[in-house]
C-alpha cells in the first residue's frame, strides 16, 4: 500500500505546485483567473487528495506529526505555505507584496520538499 500512496501523493504535489505557480503568475499579470471555474475548483480538489494521501502515508509508515521531527517540520512548512499563498493570491494589496508573498511561498514549498527528500525515516522497510 505504501508505494501507490506515495506515487499518488507525489503526483498531487507536482500538480498542486504547478497550479499554484500558474495562479500566481496570472495574479501578477492581472489576468482574471478567478473567472475560470477549473482554476477555482481544481486546486481544492487536488489539495484535498494531497492531504488525504499524506495522512494515509503517515498511518502506513507509523510516523506522525509532533512525534517525528521531520513530519512536524513539513506540517509547519505547510502552514507557512498556506498563509503566504493566501497573501500572494488574494489578500496582499499591492503587486509588490503579492510578488514577495509568492516568492516566500515558493521558498516554503522548497523547504517542505527538501524535508521530504532528506528525512530520517527509512523507506526501504516498505
Q: How far apart are CA 43 and CA 14, in angstroms?
A: 11
Phi, psi of 41 (to 5 degrees): -95, -40
Contact predicate 82/109, CB 8 Å: no
Residue 107 has pLDDT above 70, yes or no: yes
**pTM here?**
0.90
Residue 126 has pLDDT above 90, yes or no: no
Q: How far apart are CA 99 and CA 84, in angstroms?
A: 10
Q: How far apart are CA 95 and CA 88, in angstroms?
A: 9
Average pLDDT value for the chain: 94
Amino acid at each position: 500500500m505504501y508505494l501507490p500512496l506515495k506515487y499518488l501523493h507525489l503526483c498531487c504535489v507536482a500538480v498542486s505546485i504547478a497550479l499554484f505557480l500558474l495562479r500566481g503568475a496570472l495574479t501578477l499579470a492581472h489576468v482574471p483567473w478567478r473567472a475560470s471555474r477549473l482554476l477555482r475548483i481544481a486546486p481544492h480538489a487536488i489539495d484535498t487528495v494531497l492531504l488525504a494521501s499524506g495522512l494515509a502515508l503517515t498511518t502506513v509508515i507509523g510516523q506522525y506529526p509532533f512525534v517525528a521531527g521531520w513530519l512536524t517540520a513539513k506540517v509547519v512548512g505547510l502552514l507557512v505555505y498556506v498563509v503566504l499563498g493566501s497573501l500572494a493570491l488574494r489578500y496582499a494589496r499591492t503587486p509588490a507584496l503579492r510578488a514577495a508573498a509568492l516568492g516566500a511561498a515558493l521558498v516554503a514549498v522548497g523547504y517542505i520538499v527538501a524535508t521530504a527528500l532528506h528525512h530520517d525515516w527509512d523507506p526501504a522497510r516498505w
